[in-house]
């Protein structure tokens, strides 16, 4: 039956598997059976045994390095730096608050300016529009004034000249012609004098 169902954890191990599991082997985190297989491999394989010993010895040296201690002024310097950081934080906070106020004020001012500009622009635009308005053409209709007929007792005499004459003799004739007002009222006024 054994050969039909091979053991999932054969006791022997090759060097590749040993190398893969060496980390856990050194850290002592392998399960019991794995640990036994690793130990057996080190007993059988000189190369892996040497490598294992080399790593363990090196780690021992490193782990036993003496720890260094902070220098004598370390705490004082840290204290000073913490104070400084605290002050800076406070300053930063104050600046941030002031900045926030400033930003608010600036936003408000900008908004107000924008509104004002918009209003002015709007007004100007409307004026311009008014100038450019093209009204539909309107046909002007003017009724001819009714000329009242001259109602004088004596008909008016109007100097006239035929169109065939030159202008200056006409003017001479006009001077010599008896002057009579076309309107009777004026005539009346002359008579009164």
- Give the nearest distance from C-beta 49 to another protein in angstroms: 13
Q: What is the dihedral of CA 128, 131, 134, 139, to 10 degrees?
A: 160
Interface residue with another protein, options 2, 6, 8, 67 (CB under 8 A): 67
Rounded distance, CA 102 to CA 104, Å?
Answer: 5
Q: Convert 70-80 to b/e letters by CB count within 10 Å (16 or more is b).
A: eeeeeeeeeee
Residues 78-137 that bind another protein (CB under 8 A): 78, 81-82, 85-86, 89
How large is the C-alpha radius of gyration of the chain?
63
Q: Does 28 bind another protein (CB under 8 A)?
A: no
Return phi, psi of residue 149, to 5°.
Answer: -70, 145
Measured on CA atoms in the order 182, 184, 186, 189, is the torsion positive or negative?
positive
Q: Residue 23 or 188: which CB sits closer to another protein?
A: 23
Chosen residue from 9, 14, 15, 23 binding another protein by CB under 8 A: 23
Which part of the chain contacts another protein (CB under 8 A), choosing from 10-18, 62-70, 143-151, 164-172?
A: 62-70
Q: At closest approach, how far in Å is the CB of 88 from another protein? A: 10
Closer to another protein by Cβ: residue 60 or 142: 60
Interface residue with another protein among 17, 51, 180, 181 (CB under 8 A) is 51
Supply the DSSP string of 98-138, one letter for each residue. HHHHHHHHHHHHHHHHHHHHHHHHHHHHHHHHHHT--PPP-
Which residues make up the interface to another protein (CB under 8 A)? Answer: 22-23, 26, 51, 54-55, 57-59, 61-63, 65-71, 74-75, 77-78, 81-82, 85-86, 89
């Amino acid at each position: 039956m054994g050969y039909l169902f091979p053991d999932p954890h054969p006791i022997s191990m090759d060097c590749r598997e040993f190398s893969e599991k060496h980390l856990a082997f050194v850290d002592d985190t392998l399960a019991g059976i794995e640990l036994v297989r690793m130990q057996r491999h080190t007993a059988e394989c000189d190369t892996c045994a040497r490598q294992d010993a080399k790593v363990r010895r090196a780690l021992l040296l490193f782990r036993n390095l003496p720890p260094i201690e902070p220098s004598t002024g370390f705490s004082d310097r840290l204290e000073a730096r913490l104070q400084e950081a605290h002050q800076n934080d406070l300053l930063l906070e104050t600046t941030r608050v002031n900045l926030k106020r400033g930003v608010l004020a600036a936003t408000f001012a900008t908004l107000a300016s924008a509104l004002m500009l918009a209003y002015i622009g709007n007004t100007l635009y409307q004026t311009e529009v008014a100038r450019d308005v093209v009204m539909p053409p309107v046909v002007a209709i003017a009724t001819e004034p009714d000329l009242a007929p001259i109602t004088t007792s004596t008909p008016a005499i109007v100097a006239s000249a035929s169109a065939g004459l030159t202008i200056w003799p006409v003017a001479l004739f006009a001077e010599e012609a008896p002057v009579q007002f076309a309107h009777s009222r004026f005539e009346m006024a002359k008579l009164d004098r």
